A and B are shown apart, each in its own frame.
Chain A
Amino acid sequence: MNDCRAIDRRAFLKFTGLSSAGLIFGMRLGAQEESADRLAPDLFVSLEPDGTIHIVAHRSEMGTGIRSVLPMVVADELGARWEDVSIVQATGDAKYGSQNTDGSRSIWRFYDRMLLAGATAGQMLSQAAATRWGVGPETCQRRDSQVIHEPSKRRIAFKELIAEAAALPVPNAENLVYKESKDRQYIGKGGALVDFKDIVHGKAVFGADIRLPDMLFAVIDRSPVHGGTARQFDATAAMAVPGVQSVETIAPFKGVHAFQALGGVAILATHSHAAIQGRNQLQTQWNASPHDGYDSEAYRSALLETASKGGKVVRQKGDYAKAIERLKKHEASYYVPHLPHEPMEPPVATADYRDGQCLIWAPTQNPQAAQSTVAAALGIPPEKVIVRVTLLGGGFGRKSKPDYVAESAILSKQAGRPVQVLWTREDDIRHDYFHSVAAVRVEAGVDDDGYPQAWRMCTVFPSISSTFAEKVTHASAGEMSMGFNDLPFDIPHLLCENGEALAHVRIGWLRSVANIQHAFAIHSFIDELAVAAGIDPLTYLNRVLGPDRLLDLKAEGADYQNYGGPYATYPVDTARLKAVLNTAAKSAGWGQPMPKGVGHGIAVHRSFLSYIAIALRVRVTDGKVQVEQADVAIDCGLAVHPDRVQSQMEGSVVFGLSLAMMGGVTMSRGQVNESNFHDAPVARMADANMPIRVTILPSQAPPGGVGEPGVPPLAPALCNAIAAATGKRIRSLPITDHDLSQA
C-alpha cells in the first residue's frame, strides 16, 4: 500500500491526466524558483527564455475572474501579450500580502501593486533594449511582449532581452514610469479569461477533483445542534458498507468555534459514495448543547422586540428626541432570516499529512487562514503547512472559513493517509456559517412636505464577532459600517442604534454581509415615506440624498470602517449616489405609466467603495412575482475589466433575487430544518429570465469593489416594485412567505 505513496507527487499529477490543471495549481511555482536564466525582479512576475511570462495570481478564483484580471493589470503595464502569459496560482504565503479573497477588495487593494510588478520588469526590459540600441529608454514602448523604438522602427522580443535585463539593477519604486491610460491594452478594456476553455470542457480543477495515491474519502457526522458533542456512536452498519475502511472521531472545537473543525464522527472509505452511505448508516447520539432550545421563530420575535427598544448609539446628530415631538411620525420594522451560502460546490478539502508536514489542496478564499488553522489543529508550525488553492465552485464568503480544511488535515493525520473531506449538500446547509438573522426598526418624523427631518433606526442581529469571541452582544464597527452608520440621507436629526443579540449558530459573512438587512430596511422605508407623501420615489430620493457633498461621518460620532479603504481616497459621495440613481432610472424608463399589476421599484446603495442603483420592473399575477426587467447602474471608479463588472452585476441581481424571493433557513430545537435545494431553494432560470441592463459609469476614480455591492439594493428595489404593483408592502424576507394573491 505504501508503494503508491512513494510516487513523486509531481510525476503523479502528470500521470493521472490532472496534468495541465494540476500543474497550474502550485507546480509551476516550484519550477519558477529553479530556472536560472530568467528575469524575476518581482514576486509576481517572471519571464522565461522560451517567451513564457509567469504571473502569479495570489487571490482565489470563485467566479469574479480575479485570477485573470489582476494578472492582466501586470501584463498591461509590462506590455505582455496575454497569450504569452501563464498564470501561477499562489500557495498560501504571507509574502504576497493578504490573500483573503473577500470584502470585494482584490482589485482596489492590489491594483497599484500589480502595476508596480509590471513596471518593474518592464522598465528593465526597456532599459536593456535602449542600451542595445543606444537610445533613451523613455523613447521605447512595450507591447505584444516586445520593446519597440518607434523613431527607428526597431523592435525586439522580451525573450531576447532577458539575460541583459536580468543583469541590470532592479529599479526603485519611486523611479518607475507608468504607462498613460491611452496606451493601455487591457485595463479598462478587458481580455480573455484563462479558465473558460477548461470550464466548458470539464477540465477545470475544483476542490473535489484532487486525486492522490492511497487517498481516502471522508464524510462527517456533525452535531445537528451547534456546540453539541458526540456521546456515543454505533458504526456497525456503517462499517458494513462496501468500501468503508474506518471510523475516526474528530474532537469538538475548544472555546469559540472560529475556523476550528466542528468535531464529530467521520466515516473514511475508498470512494466518495461509500463514505456518504457509511455516514448515513452511522448512529450517533449527541450530548446536550446550550443551543438545544434555539427556535428561529421565537428568536425573530425577540429581535423585533429588542429593535423597538433601541440600543447602543453608533451615530448621532441633531436632537432626534426633541425633533420628533413636532413632526408626523412613521415607523416600520424589517426582518431578514438566516441565509445559507449554498455555493454549487459544497465545502471540500484534501490533506496529506506526513512527517510533521501537511500538504493541502482546497477551494479556499483564504489560503493563509487555512494554513494557520491547519497548523493550530495539528500542532505544527504554519510553515509546515502548504495550501494549494484550486478553483472554487462558488464561495460567497463560505469558503473564507477553513473549518473544512482543518477537518481534512486532522483526519489525514489520524488515518495516516491522504484524506479528502466531502460535505454533502445537507452538510453544507445544516452546518453553514449563516448570514445573520436580523431585525431593523426605523422611525422618522416628516415635515409638512412629507420629507424626513428626524430619523432613528435600530439594528439588531447576532454579530459575526460571535464566531471569534465569547458572549458577544453587539455588532462590530465593521458591521455598523455596512450601510448603517453611513446613512447618506440629508436629515438634520439622526440617531443610529444597535441592540443586543446573542448567537446560537455559527454566524459568518455572506456576499455583502450586513448591508443586506440595512439596505433592505432603509431603502424600503424611504420608499414607504415617499408613497405616504404621495411623491414619486425617484424625486423623493434625489431630494433626501441632498446637495452634492462628502459625508463627514466622524463628526457625527460614527466609527466608520469604510471597508478598510482610506476615507480620504474613498469618501461617501452623495453626487455619485445620485448619478447612479438617475442613470438606473433613465435606463429603466422610470415614470412611464404602468398597467395594473406592474410596478417599478428602485434603490441606491453604496457599499464596498462602489455606488450601485437597481431599478426593477415587476409584474404580480395571481400572487406570483415576476421580474420583467432589471436596470443596474454602477460607479465602481475605474472598471478594470468591464465585462467582469457587468457579469458581477448580473450575478448580483440573481443572487439578490434568490435571497429576497426565497432565501432563508429556519431552526427548531437548535437544528436547521432545511436540507437541500428543494426546501432551501435558489433562483432557477425561470425566476431570473428578465433582461438585465448594466450601465457602468465612466470614471477614473480609484477602483472600488464589484463582487458584493450589487446585492444590497436588490431586495428593497424588488419590494418597492411589488408595493408599486400591488399596494402591498413587504417588510420581511423571503417574499414567498407572503400571500400576494389578494393584493
Chain B
Amino acid sequence: MYQLFTALRSWKENTTRKIMAKLTIDGVEVETQERDLPLLWFLRDHLQKTGTRYGCGRGLCGACTVLVDGQAVRSCQLPVAALEGRQITTIEGLGANEEHPLQKAWQEHKVPQCGYCQGGQILSAVSFLRAKPHPTNEELDAMMAGNICRCGTYPRIRKAIQSVAGGEK
C-alpha cells in the first residue's frame, strides 16, 4: 500500500505535464496520456475490458476490484498514472491461461447469482489468500469486508474460499 502512496505522489507531479503513462494490464503493456483517469474507466472505456465493474465510484463496494502487483485495490479510486510500471490483473486476465483455483471453486460451489460483483469478490479473495493462505473465519470476514454482494451470496463465497484455503492453520 505504501508503494501506491508513493506512486500517487509522483502522479501528482507528472500529471500536469501530460507524460505518457506506461502500465501493464493482463500481461500487455499499455501507454496512455489519460493520466488522471481512474483505472476503472480506462479499462472499461479505453481498453473495452468490461469485466471490471462500476458499483459506487467511491471505493465502497468492491465491484471494481483489480490486482496491482498482486494486491487487491479499488480501480475507481486509482488514477492511471499512479500505476506506472505496475502489473495489473483484471478478472479477464486472472484465468486467461489457466483457470484460477478460486474461479474453479466459485463454479463448484455455485456461488454466483446475478454475477455482477463476483469478479471483484474473486480478485479480493486471490489477493488476501496470497497474504493469508489459511484465514480464520474472522480474518475471512475482514478480508472480504470491502466487497458487497446485494444478492447475498456470502455463505457460498465463504465456502468457496475455504475450499481453496483448506481450513485454518
| Interface positions of A (Cβ within 8 A of B) | 16-18, 61-65, 193, 195-206, 208-209, 211, 217, 271-273, 276, 342-346, 391-396, 422, 424-425, 643, 647, 650-655, 658, 676-678, 682-686, 688-689, 691-692
Contact = CB atoms under 8 A, between A and B. Distances in A.
Interface string B47-74: 0111111111110110100000000000
24 contacts: A64-B113, A196-B112, A198-B115, A199-B115, A201-B91, A201-B99, A202-B119, A208-B50, A271-B45, A273-B37, A273-B45, A344-B55, A392-B114, A393-B114, A652-B152, A654-B149, A676-B56, A677-B56, A684-B145, A685-B141, A686-B142, A686-B145, A689-B154, A692-B155
B45 A344 contact: no
Interface string B93-120: 0110001000100110010111111110
A375 B67 CA distance: 44
* B interface, size bucket: 35 or more
Contact of A393 (B44, B45, B49, B115): B115
A650 B45 contact: no
A632 to B, nearest CB: 11
Contacts of B11: none
B118 A683 contact: no
Contact of B115 (A195, A273, A346): A195
B114 A62 contact: yes
Contacts of B142: 686
B149 A200 contact: no
B127 interface: no
B41 A271 contact: yes
A201 B92 contact: yes
B113 A651 contact: yes
B137 interface: yes
A650 B153 contact: yes
B141 A206 contact: no
A582 B48 CA distance: 52
B113 A272 contact: no
A682 B151 CA distance: 10
B23 to A, nearest CB: 17
A685 B110 CA distance: 17
B158 interface: yes
Contact of A200 (B52, B54, B95, B116): B95
Contact of B58 (A392, A676, A692): A676
Interface of B: 37-38, 41, 44-46, 48-58, 60-61, 63, 90-92, 94-95, 99, 103, 106-107, 110, 112-119, 122, 137, 140-142, 144-145, 147-158
Of the candidates B58, B94, B142, the one having the most CB atoms from chain A within 10 angstroms of its own CB is B58
Nearest to B118: A199
Given A273-B37, A676-B56, A686-B142, A16 B48 contact: yes
B149 to A, nearest CB: 7
A562 B31 CA distance: 60
A647 B41 contact: no
A63 B151 contact: yes
A65 B122 CA distance: 20
B142 to A, nearest CB: 7
A63 B58 contact: no
Of the candidates A200, A647, A658, A689, the one having the most CB atoms from chain B within 10 angstroms of its own CB is A200
A344 B41 contact: no
Contacts of B158: 685, 689
A201 B152 contact: no
B165 to A, nearest CB: 15
A391 B151 CA distance: 14
Contact of A678 (B60, B92, B95, B147): B60
Given A202-B90, A211-B48, A685 B56 contact: no
A201 B95 contact: yes
Nearest to A689: B141
A650 B113 CA distance: 11
B126 to A, nearest CB: 12
A123 B110 CA distance: 33
A692 B154 CA distance: 10
B53 A206 contact: yes
A201 B51 contact: yes
A680 B18 CA distance: 38
Given A202-B92, A391-B115, A647-B156, 13 more contacts: A63-B113, A200-B91, A200-B106, A272-B41, A393-B116, A647-B153, A650-B153, A651-B153, A676-B60, A678-B58, A685-B154, A689-B137, A689-B158
A689 B145 CA distance: 11
Given A202-B52, A271-B45, A394-B151, A193 B145 contact: no
A209 B56 CA distance: 16
A196 B150 contact: no
A684 B110 CA distance: 19
Contact of B48 (A17, A677, A692): A17
B114 A391 contact: yes
A560 to B, nearest CB: 30
Nearest to B158: A689
Given A206-B53, A425-B55, A685-B157, A199 B112 contact: yes
Contacts of B50: 202, 205-206, 208-209, 211
Q: 3 smallest A-B Cβ distances: which pairs?
A: A202-B51, A654-B152, A393-B116
A655 B151 CA distance: 7
Nearest to A648: B113
A682 B61 CA distance: 10
B101 to A, nearest CB: 11
A684 B152 CA distance: 9
A516 to B, nearest CB: 16
Contacts of A344: 53, 55, 61, 63, 114, 116-117, 148-151
